[in-house]
């Protein structure tokens, strides 16, 4: 109970002599320093709000404008054309102010209005410039004169040294596509999936929708687009994520892996010390907006950073009809799970962030704690893994007051969640490749009760020093979490490092208060609901079939030498692999970002096209090589065009989704929209690019390769495929499916992908000897010891 006593700032007792008041100096000091830290953060936020609010100008430019106007007036000129005099006439000032002083005040007011007008004009110009997307459709390496002028203007109007959110006010709004165009593109996308009768029926439904209900729904959607920053994102978050009543474990959450070939330290507590410290360094940069705004690689084009706002101190709260995402401004601790117990681990002491060595010391205290879990505590996390309605009712009935509410609040308000796992993961044992499959399943669902799936992200630390991350999907998409994860891994290994014994560097303040163990009062009725959630989650977890493998025969280097887009190449390979396994094509989902627009998230690229299916049929039908090559090039160009259209706001699925939501609000039925939204995505794919190449030394330390991450299958009879392109010679694949479906097998599909990649590069690649020297120079990596 020492922690509880230290948390009390004062105590008093009533005695015959009066009231005996005892103040706790330590507690009062903590309160004071906490207040100072809070006010510092408020001042930083205020300063950043001002800097971001006037961008692309700077606050100092106001002084320049004022001095320029006053200097011009000093030369007996009137740059305001009489406006300063008008302002002076209506200036509510006292009689004691001199005429000259009134003139100066009027000039300053005029200068301020002129400055604000210039800022508005510059923002409007930048917004219009960023609405230009024709550059994306030009041939690679061939830039038109119009685009060259556009790039120069973007550089001029973009200002200098932008903060993380500086471009938010200048990003264009996501445009609403024309209904006719969306319907046309949709029909084109489903043609290879339907026979003539099915396609004719769908064409009639589409024509009926386009000529009647479509225009009415479109009117409401345009009205929303005028009123809101993004006509898709809020509905997407609510209806796709938060209103889902099935478990978010496997179905929604996704994971990221550690380095593939190395483990920086085998000491669990030390790995936690360095990376937890790195996470808080990232949060500090995020709060101060010191992170560079994300851009399209190799360009000056900024991307929306709105998703970063809820990265830390965030949780998803269950509700019976819909969940909500709650975010707190600050949190000075992390919630930790170990062997059935929950702990509160403070990472700030006396207003300073603990050093990595001190965090390691505190984590080791948790690992050494032998106290048993409270009754019902060990598997409490299963509530976040099961059905959402059951969790919402349990939260209301058993966690809305008393000690349970205080402990639950502690978890939900934590900066993030940490699991200290007793298992070992990574490339282990006699079959290191196969051990990656178990590693993936561990990060995706664990034991179903040792993760807190509602937190914005949870970090898992294994007994052998390996780590990984599991992220909730509603608040942000994978690239945002991947950016954080890259920073943490790089900072851990290349900035902080470890001493010779594998411990974090630095000294320890042994007077640090011990981590606080959370207490619970779990009733038998609540335990029963925990067991029900665990049963549902365990069945779901046992059904998932994960397969992770590294493809090292060639990578994007060889693909690009063939003058081919690596992403398009891989997507065609997936189409070929699926057709070879199932002898049919399926609706294919590739996630593409729409962060060129304000509050943009994702759009769907329908990778199965007429062109890709024609190529696959030709290749499988053993057509002549030249014919296959021509069809392959056509399929690649089509896929790249689909990606460009999705990124520039002219995709298919988000528009149709929003039209469907409007129809539900209006209470009208659309057979066309109902059928479109019910079609299963049997092949769901995603690429996770390496965003911060500068943080990693790919030349001197090529073994520091992240294995990427993955997600569960979207359809019960389908596959989830994530691929991570690293460097020039490596592609990591994460494949998931369900054991309960007799038609899917992740390992067999992985083998088909390998063969498809080999066949495609053989079809279009130059002579093998051209790459023999490159491939021989690739370093060999071994499994972790």
Q: Which residues are the active-site residues?
A: 473
Among residues 271, 329, 331, 614, the alpha carbon closest in space to that of 464 is found at 271
Contact call for residues 333 and 406 (beta carbons, < 8 A): no
The position carrying tokens 């025969």 is 553
Segment holding 467, helix H or strand E: strand 467-471
Q: Round to whole Å and give the CA distance between 305 and 295.
A: 10
Among residues 418, 373, 168, 186, the alpha carbon closest in space to that of 280 is found at 418
Cis status of the peptide bond prior to 26, with omega within 30 of 0: no
Contact call for residues 599 and 230 (beta carbons, < 8 A): yes
The C-alpha R_g of the chain, in whole angstroms, comes to 29
Q: Round to whole Å and give the CA distance between 249 and 391.
A: 13
Q: Which residues contact 34 (CB under 8 A, 6 or more apart)?
A: 332, 351
Q: What end-to-end distance do the CA atoms of the chain give, in Å? A: 41
- Interhelix angle 25-54/268-287, rounded to 10 degrees, is 50
Question: DSSP letter at 97?
Answer: S
Q: Round to whole Å and give the CA distance between 306 and 301.
A: 16
Q: Indicate the SS3 state at residue 58.
A: coil
Q: Round to whole Å and give the CA distance between 614 and 325.
A: 44
- Strand segments, DSSP code E, in 594-667 are 602-606
Q: Round to whole Å and give the CA distance between 486 and 505.
A: 21
Contact call for residues 366 and 334 (beta carbons, < 8 A): no
- Strand segments, DSSP code E, in 303-432 are 314-317, 324-327, 333-338, 341-346, 348-349, 352-353, 417-420
Q: Round to whole Å and give the CA distance between 666 and 147.
A: 43
Contact call for residues 703 and 246 (beta carbons, < 8 A): no
Q: Is 527 exposed, middle or buried (0-12, 13-18, 19+ CB in 10 A)?
A: middle
The position carrying tokens 């030249």 is 626
The angle subtended at Cα 284 by Cα 282 and Cα 289, nearest 5°, is 90
Q: Round to whole Å and give the CA distance between 548 and 723.
A: 10
Q: Round to whole Å and give the CA distance between 729 and 556.
A: 6
Q: Round to whole Å and give the CA distance between 715 and 713.
A: 6
Q: Which residues contact 211 (CB under 8 A, 6 or more apart)?
A: none
Encoding tokens for residue 382? Answer: 């299963």
Cα–Cα distances in Å, from 655 out to 181, 214, 222, 644? 11, 11, 11, 16
Question: DSSP letter at 248?
Answer: S
The angle subtended at Cα 598 by Cα 596 and Cα 602, nearest 5°, is 60
C-alpha 544 chain-centroid distance:
23
Residues paired with 606 in a beta bridge = 589
The position carrying tokens 């851009």 is 295
The position carrying tokens 């009754």 is 375
- Interhelix angle 625-647/746-764, rounded to 10 degrees, is 110
Q: Round to whole Å and give the CA distance between 673 and 653.
A: 11
């Amino acid at each position: 109970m020492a922690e509880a006593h230290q948390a009390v700032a004062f105590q008093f007792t009533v005695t015959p002599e009066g009231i005996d008041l005892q103040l706790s100096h330590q507690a009062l000091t903590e309160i004071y320093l906490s207040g100072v830290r809070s006010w510092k953060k408020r001042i930083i936020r205020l300063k950043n709000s001002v800097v971001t609010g006037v961008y692309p100008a700077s606050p100092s430019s106001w002084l320049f404008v004022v001095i320029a106007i006053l200097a011009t007036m000093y030369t007996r000129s009137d740059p305001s054309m009489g406006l300063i005099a008008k302002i002076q006439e209506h200036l509510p000032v006292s009689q004691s102010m001199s005429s000259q002083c009134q003139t100066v005040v009027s000039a300053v007011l005029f200068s301020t209005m002129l400055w604000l007008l210039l800022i508005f004009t510059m923002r409007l110009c930048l917004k219009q410039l960023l609405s230009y997307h024709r550059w994306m459709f030009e041939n690679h390496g061939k830039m038109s004169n119009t685009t060259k002028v556009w790039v120069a203007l973007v550089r001029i109007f973009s200002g200098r040294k932008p903060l993380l959110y500086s471009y938010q006010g200048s990003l264009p709004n996501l445009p609403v596509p024309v209904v006719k165009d969306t319907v046309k593109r949709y029909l084109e996308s489903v043609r290879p999936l339907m026979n003539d009768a099915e396609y004719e029926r769908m064409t009639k439904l589409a024509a009926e929708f386009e000529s009647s209900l479509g225009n009415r729904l479109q009117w409401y959607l345009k009205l929303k687009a005028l009123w809101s920053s993004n006509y898709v994102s809020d509905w997407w978050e609510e209806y796709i994520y938060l209103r889902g009543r099935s478990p978010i474990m496997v179905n929604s959450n996704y994971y990221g892996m550690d380095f593939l070939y190395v483990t920086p330290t085998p000491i669990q507590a030390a790995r936690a010390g360095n990376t937890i410290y790195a996470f808080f360094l990232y949060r500090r940069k995020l709060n101060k907006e010191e992170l560079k705004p994300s851009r399209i690689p190799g360009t000056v084009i900024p991307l929306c950073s709105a998703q970063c706002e809820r990265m830390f101190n965030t949780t998803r709260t269950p509700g019976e009809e819909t969940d909500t995402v709650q975010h707190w401004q600050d949190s000075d601790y992390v919630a930790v799970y170990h062997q059935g117990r929950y702990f509160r681990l403070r990472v700030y002491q006396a207003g300073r962030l603990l050093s990595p060595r001190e965090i390691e010391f505190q984590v080791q205290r948790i690992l050494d704690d032998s106290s048993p879990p409270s009754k019902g505590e060990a598997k409490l996390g299963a509530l976040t893994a099961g059905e959402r309605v059951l969790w919402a009712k349990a939260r209301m009935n058993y966690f809305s007051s008393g000690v349970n509410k205080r402990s639950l609040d502690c978890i939900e308000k934590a900066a993030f969640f940490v699991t200290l796992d007793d298992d070992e993961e990574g490339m282990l044992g006699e079959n290191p490749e196969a051990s990656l499959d178990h590693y993936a399943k561990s990060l995706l669902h664990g034991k179903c009760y040792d993760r807190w799936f509602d937190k914005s992200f949870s970090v898992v630390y294994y007994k052998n020093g390996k780590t990984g991350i599991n992220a909730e999907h509603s608040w942000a998409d994978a690239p945002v979490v991947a950016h954080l994860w890259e920073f943490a891994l790089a900072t851990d290994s290349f900035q902080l490092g470890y001493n010779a014994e594998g411990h974090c560097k630095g000294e320890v303040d042994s007077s640090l208060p011990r981590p606080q163990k959370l207490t619970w009062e779990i009733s038998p009725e609540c335990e029963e609901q925990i067991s029900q959630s665990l049963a549902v989650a365990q069945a779901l977890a046992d059904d998932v079939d994960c397969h992770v493998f590294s493809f090292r025969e060639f990578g994007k280097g060889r693909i690009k030498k063939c003058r081919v887009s690596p992403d398009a190449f891989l997507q065609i390979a997936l189409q070929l692999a699926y057709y070879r396994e199932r002898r049919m094509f399926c609706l294919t989902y590739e996630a593409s970002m729409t962060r060129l627009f304000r509050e943009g998230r994702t759009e769907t690229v329908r990778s199965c096209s007429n062109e890709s299916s024609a190529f696959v049929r030709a290749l499988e039908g053993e057509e002549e090589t030249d014919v296959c090559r021509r069809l392959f090039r056509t399929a690649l160009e089509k896929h790249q065009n689909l990606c460009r259209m999705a990124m520039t706001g002219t995709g298919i699925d988000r528009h149709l989704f929003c039209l469907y939501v409007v129809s539900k609000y209006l209470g009208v039925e659309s057979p066309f929209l109902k059928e479109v939204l019910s079609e299963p995505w049997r092949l769901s794919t995603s690429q996770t690019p390496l965003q911060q190449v500068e943080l990693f030394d790919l030349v001197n330390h090529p073994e520091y390769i992240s294995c990427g991450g993955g997600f569960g299958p979207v359809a019960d009879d389908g596959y989830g495929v994530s691929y991570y392109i690293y460097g020039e010679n490596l592609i990591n694949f994460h494949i998931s499916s369900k054991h309960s479906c007799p038609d899917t097998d992740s390992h067999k599909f992985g083998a088909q992908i390998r063969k498809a990649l080999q066949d495609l590069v053989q079809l279009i690649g130059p002579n093998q000897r051209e790459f023999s020297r490159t491939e021989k120079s690739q370093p060999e990596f071994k499994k972790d010891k």
